[in-house]
Amino acid sequence: MAEDITQEEWQEQIANDNNAVILDVRTEEEVEDGYIPNMLNVDIRQGQGFLDEIGKLDKTKNYYVYCRSGARSAQACMLMNQMGFETTYNLVGGFMNWEGEIVEE
């Protein structure tokens, strides 16, 4: 089941979730502008390539998914749920509204 969460909820839940995986579904170019630490990047715009990569992931983990604004990540959560991932969280407002820690290259 996908759930939309605020960045406050996101940071609080991740801090207490030993089973958390942060998933960035943006393009490589977008990632170069900065990203949330310790994330895994799989670009949703790669279509089948995205589905193939996601299919290799552990479905028992809790996935915290983000993109630039929250639209692509909501779509990613939906696709993941259809593929059998039970717990996905979508970051409302996405990276452009993120005020937490970021890594810049």
Catalytic residues: 67
6 phi, psi to nearest 5 deg: -80, 165
Give whole-number Cα distances, 88 to 48, 62, 102, in Å. Answer: 20, 6, 21
d(CA 17, CA 82): 23
